[in-house]
Structure 1
Amino acid sequence: MSDFIESAKQILAALGGKDNIASATHCVTRLRLALVDEEKVDKKALENIDVVRGSFSTSGQFQVVIGQGTVDKVYKELVSLAEITEASKEETKKAAEKNLNPLQRAVKTLADIFIPILPAIVTAGLLMGINNILTAEGIFAEQSVVAMFPQWADVADIIHLIANTAFVFLPGLIGWSAVKRFGGNELLGIVLGLMLVHPDLLNAWVYGAAQEAGEIPYWNLFGLDVAKVGYQGQVLPILVAAFVLAKIEIALKKRIPDGFQLLVVAPVALLVTGFIAFIAIGPVTFAIGNGITALFVGIFDNFAILGGLLYGGIYAPLVITGMHHTFLAVDLQLIGSIGATFLWPIVALSNIAQGSAALAMYFVLKDEKVKGLSLTSSISAYLGITEPAMFGVNLRYRFPFICAIIGSAIAAMWITFNSVLAPSIGVGGLPGIFSIQAGQWLAFAIGMVIAVVVPLVLTFIFAKTRKKEIN
């Protein structure tokens, strides 16, 4: 225990003392701190502490990577020494918001909405990958597994149903998370999201064909024709509707006596939001969403290599700012509109590239602490979690980060040239191949080889030329 006390003392000193800590919490591997002034942090001293594996700042929080099993012990000593109370993650997030500009606040809001539903989305992606293995032709033979072994057909069908549920009822998931984030009742958010995909509505995936055939159903509301259309796979309609629902609910709670709130608040908020959603929010945001989809599809259809180069190059820098979370919404919008995304496969390659650069540093570094971090963080990046590799190793030495970006950009150019698509979002690393359309596995596998080899070789060569500086 004395070792943890000493480590906590050293960390506190490097952070600028107890007066510089506004709030502190921790996750599985990291201290998450809201600091008064991040300029007071002595990063060099901090990263020379034995238990510290790296540090970085994101979304207004300063995070110190320590490791599973140790971080909670150090945290307890730190809050005792700093004379602050243990805070929840939400409390620390709120304390950190004062450090954010308006754009960062908007990005953080999107992150707060989409991160909680990621486990469901990623799980669905992995299960879709299993379904691909069973139903796609040309993987093990010319015929699919279910064609060769018909007894597996119903198994594959059930797997597809389980995997597809998260995408079919995506507005329900987003509604729950968004209304909770905006301060409303998350159960009403679920109802609102499911309402937008009610089976009595025209399915959004057949909207184009129905419009062309002139078969779109309408409600007549006092002379106003309102399209009776659902919003399956759409992101913007439920985001805006959830914001409206939460604000109406909050306003009503302030004005309705406690004894009548159960009878008035939820029914009125849901009814008013429902009408607004179908009359105004849905049609407007549906058009905006289709416009965003058309923009990205147009860029990647007409300038595929350039699009891959740009997105493959900027994705890792976006992770530093936290703005990469905004593209999750774009991925989900693409999946809902055209049935697949060409952006997410690039994300998987970017993660692999960061892992490869960190792995290269393992072979050239002499510092056992950073050397060990290089190996463990590269494995983590290969499995989709890049922060330890990026912030603990690659950004520390800068050139590995740049080499990873180069490898990611080249790999992204290759897969966009070959029109690689993912019908779902999976684990953003080596397992990502299971979320790629089966007929494009070879092209994506070549992209993975590029993302492994190019950063590994470039980082190793560059490190050899700067051996004295890095050791």
Structure 2
Amino acid sequence: MNHQEIAERLVELLGGKDNIVSATHCATRLRLVIEDEGQINKEEIEELDGVKGAFSSSGQFQVIFGTGTVNKVFAKFGPLVGVTSDEEPKSTTSHNEVAKRKMNPFARFARTLSNIFVPIIPAIVAAGMLMGLLGMMKTYNWVDADSGLFILLDMFSSASFIILPILIGFSAAKEFGGNSYLGAVIGGIMTHPALLNPWGLSDAQPETLDFLGFGVEMLGYQGTVIPVLLTVYLMAKIEKGLRKIVPNVVDLLLTPFLTVIFTGFIAMLVVGPLGRILGNGITTVLDVVYSTAGPVAGLLFGGLYSTIVLTGVHHSFHAIEAEVLLAAGGNYLLPIWAMANVAQGGATLAVFFKTKNKKIKGIALPASVSAFLGITEPAIFGVNLRYRRPFIGAAIGGALGGAYVVFTQVMANGIGLTGIPMFAIAQDPLNYGIGFLIALAGAFVATLLLGWKEETK
């Protein structure tokens, strides 16, 4: 593979250097913000050596090369369009900001939530895996629950959820354009030791503080999501507003001081309590749907999830999953999403075995493996959507798997991991594994039965 020739040809097929507003890449894809996507020759791009698919989503045109290859192509592609490193976009504004401007408001909102929660996922995953390990220790009596080892590991596993508002505050402030450390301070105020920690307490009875005639409930926000998100959003607005009116000479002193005071009062008196009510309302509605509709809900969500992925709206699910995880003691949404992702791999695997197109066969096998590991873009955009019917086959497999994991009440101890990696945080690995096989086999068989029209090239 000649990466220089591919990069040069790619620039040409994208409409030239001037049509490329910004460029970066992730683990598998080139991510490009294009001035006029009408100038793109998508069909010829997909025929380039090494290209596993191309699609437009979330304000970006994305070209799938796969792990390792994308780095080598970008190293040649970047200088051709004026980008000298992975972190430095072509435009003066960050790549994500440029991409957001091309999104509709709802997609922009979903992307904002994703940008806040993705950096936090490793902390939640680590805590979830520790919770799973503790559960096995307790179930099989590996370690005495009163032993020092168990108590320390229990501390390690709960820490991420207890300080979650601080983590969210730091990440959200950065995303909203505020000072990240002030965001962390707001999260700290909402989890202060003076407030009753409701984490793990079912019958918490907080004291009520009299403040200027208002009754302030001294209940902390440990393990909550929505209250701190709303509060830090307002904090960023207050900080920006203050910076416009506070003289530069005293900006460093007055702006943080006033921002913390104003936001702290707003958090404790208004936004925090309202955010708690909103969060409880969301989880209550989901719990009712989960407990009443049961497998039918799993069938619908498992079948429709991949279609939702095409819109980019799924980026907003991390916030909802985190709220459910903390309120219900487990994330019952993630196993459903996992079934949809596994099914995409099953459908792509069926294409691999049946297709006679050598290029598609070369794309399908690694794409299916990638889907089994939780990365579905190569499978969805490189294979299944290209033939359409395999995408429908994947929806059928995802629906069957989703119905099973809801029927058996499979939950996860975290967010962000699907496919094979989710075994590490699944509360019921056996039934999750059975659901995994149902989704894979269902999608595989459905795809073969539906068939597809082979490309002549």
- Using structure 2 for the length normalisation, give the TM-score: 0.92
Q: 1:306 to 1:155 in 2, by over 3 A?
A: same
CA deviation string 1:138-158 (max 9, x = no partner): xxxxx43225xx89x544443
Question: What RMSD in Å do the two structures reach over aligned CA positions?
Answer: 2.3
Contact 2:396/2:446 (8 A) holds in 1: no
Match of 1:442 in 2: 430
2:266 pairs, out of 266, 276, 280, with 276
**Residues 1:19 and 2:22 are matched in the alignment:** no
Q: What is the deviation of 1:14? A: 1.8
Give the SS at the match of 2:50: coil
Contact 1:129/1:436 (8 A) holds in 2: yes
Give the SS at the match of 2:415: coil
Give the SS at the match of 1:423: coil
Match of 2:375 in 1: 385
Contact 1:235/1:329 (8 A) holds in 2: yes
Q: What is the deviation of 1:206? A: 6.5
Give the SS at the match of 2:354: coil
- Distance in 1 between residues matched to 2:68 and 2:338, nearest whole Å: 28
Match of 2:194 in 1: 200
**Residues 1:452 and 2:440 are matched in the alignment:** yes
Q: What is the deviation of 1:378? A: 1.6
CA deviation string 1:371-400 (max 9, x = no partner): 232221222221222122222222222222
1:176 pairs, out of 161, 164, 170, with 170
- Distance in 2 between residues matched to 1:49 and 1:389, nearest whole Å: 17
- Distance in 2 between residues matched to 1:131 and 1:381, nearest whole Å: 29
Q: Which moved more, 1:267-276 or 1:120-129?
A: 120-129
**Residues 1:394 and 2:369 are matched in the alignment:** no
Q: What is the deviation of 1:45? A: 0.2
Q: What is the deviation of 1:164? A: 2.3
1:124 pairs, out of 123, 127, 131, with 127
Contact 1:300/1:307 (8 A) holds in 2: yes
Q: How many residues in Structure 1 have an aligned counterpart in Structure 2? A: 453
**Residues 1:431 and 2:425 are matched in the alignment:** no
2:292 pairs, out of 283, 299, 302, with 302
Contact 1:244/1:273 (8 A) holds in 2: yes
Match of 1:140 in 2: none
Q: What is the deviation of 1:299? A: 0.9
Q: What is the deviation of 1:348? A: 1.8
Q: What is the deviation of 1:84? A: 6.3
Q: Which has the higher helix share?
A: 1
Q: 1:393 to 1:123 in 2, by over 3 A?
A: farther
Q: What is the deviation of 1:426? A: 5.7
- State the one-letter code of the partner of 1:47: E
- State the one-letter code of the partner of 2:102: N
Question: What stretches of structure 1 of length at least 5 have no aligned partner?
Answer: 138-142
Q: What is the deviation of 1:419? A: 2.3
Match of 1:185 in 2: 179
CA deviation string 1:419-457 (max 9, x = no partner): 2222333621123233222xx433322212201211122
Where does 1:88-127 land on structure 2 (aligned, <5 Å)? 88=88, 91-127=94-130
Q: What is the deviation of 1:209? A: 2.0
- Using structure 1 for the length normalisation, give the TM-score: 0.90
Q: 1:381 to 1:163 in 2, by over 3 A?
A: farther
Question: What stretches of structure 2 of length at least 5 have no aligned partner?
Answer: none
- Distance in 1 between residues matched to 2:405 and 2:341, nearest whole Å: 15
Q: 1:45 to 1:434 in 2, by over 3 A?
A: same
CA deviation string 1:112-148 (max 9, x = no partner): 211221222223223333333322x2xxxxx43225x
Give the SS at the match of 2:192: coil
- Distance in 2 between residues matched to 1:65 and 1:394, nearest whole Å: 14
2:314 pairs, out of 308, 315, 324, with 324
Contact 2:132/2:413 (8 A) holds in 1: no
Q: Which moved more, 1:290-299 or 1:92-101?
A: 92-101
- Distance in 1 between residues matched to 2:281 and 2:247, nearest whole Å: 44
Match of 2:74 in 1: 75
CA deviation string 1:241-295 (max 9, x = no partner): 1111111111222222233122211121011101100100011111111111110
CA deviation string 1:25-79 (max 9, x = no partner): 2233321110012232211100100032211222101111123443344334334
Match of 1:37 in 2: 36
Contact 2:125/2:425 (8 A) holds in 1: no
* Identical aligned residues as a percent: 42
Q: What is the deviation of 1:469? A: 4.3
- Distance in 1 between residues matched to 2:421 and 2:142, nearest whole Å: 20
Match of 2:142 in 1: 145
